[in-house]
Amino acid sequence: MLYTLHRMTGNSDFDLFRTTDEHEEIRAAIREIADEQIAPHAAEVDQNSEFPQQAYDALRAADFHAPHIPEQYDGVGADALATCIVIEEVARACASSSLIPAVNKLGSMPVILGASEELKAKYLPPIARGEAMFSYGLSEREAGSDTASMKCRATPDGDDWILHGQKSWITNAGESQFYTVLAVTDPDGRRGANVSAFVVEKGDEGFGFGEKERKLGIKGSPTRELHFDNCRIPGDRIIGQPGEGLKIALRTLDHTRVTIGAQAVGIAQGALENAIAFVKDRQQFGKHIADFQAIQFMLADMAMQLEAARQLVYVAASKSERADDDLSFFGAAAKCFASDVAMKVTVDAVQLLGGYGYVQDYPVERMMRDAKITQIYEGTNQIQRLVMGRMLVK
């Protein structure tokens, strides 16, 4: 498969990724923060469905809240692999908290990829400085996987745009100050080429939020609808040119699906570590259950699948950094494979803990619930397989 894709794209660079000393230093630093300042609050954040403010404060203090933003916009300029490592290590402790750096990248990536220099200079520095967060508004109630069927409208009015409609399932909605919003700007135009992207600010008149969704997992990250009722925004808030919105949105997902793969790897890593610690301590039939071959085989399969997922995510992250021609395939593959692995590993972790795994006294049941969303958002895994399949037969 790897050979086929390289032959297909003409990419002869087989040195796909290599973690540097700096990457591992970043891992050590964020792991310490995650263990000491994020993990202790993870259960409470989940139980109370509250935004992980302690995690946000800790990440901002260490410049890990939006590490992807370039240095020219007051960011630290971390590469795509370093950003994935940050998300992975935070997710290992608390999946809800890992959505802070992940969604900051998702929301701001359209600006990075397609906005004017003036728009970049206005909106990226506040994110980099930790003064604001950035969310992403693409999906609607009847336009999930079929994004081109969206109904949200942006109508020109003089130099301004007037937004009408809604967006659904928006991560960190209400907490973020800025939102990339996709809307139809030419209702009679060609499907998919009639959508534009805009930056909407939390305080814009006519912009509001629905109630928080009651969710299976990632309960500490608020998910709400965005509502637009004659929401007027200045004309210079458009990202790119009219009609380029969906193209920018899909390019964004090529990059950010990799970060969901990283989140999935982190969740699975946390579940595996908890399972190993438990079976080494738990005794049955006069010995530790870690000594049973059946248990060791389960752990071996979990670790093997997890490491395969991690390697694929890191390859995709390196391709994201280089903007390789086959990024669409590898981004979809990393997200799809890693999230399927996260679901399996967390279910197996619950099984290894037995009855203890089913109660909230142990974190693996939370991790199992959190893992499920990684198979759904930023494109269901069925859509990821469609993306990969189309690339293979194109």
- Report, as residue numbers or ranges, the catalytic residues: 378
List for the chain the helix, strand, coil content (%; round to 5).
Answer: 55, 15, 30
Burial of 3 by CB count in 10 Å (0-12 exposed, 13-18 middle, 19+ buried)?
exposed
Task: Tell how strand 238-239 and strand 207-209 pair up.
Answer: unpaired
Cβ atoms 30, 60 nearer than 8 A:
no
The gap from C-alpha 375 to its chain's centroid, in whole angstroms, comes to 11
Retrieve residue 303's tokens. 């670790």
Cβ atoms 351, 282 nearer than 8 A:
no
The gap from C-alpha 3 to its chain's centroid, in whole angstroms, comes to 28
Retrieve residue 68's tokens. 């992807």
User: What's the chain's length in residues?
Assistant: 394
Among residues 179, 28, 38, 27, which one has the least CA distance to residue 97? 38
- Tokens 């928080």 map to which residue? 212
Cβ atoms 117, 73 nearer than 8 A:
no
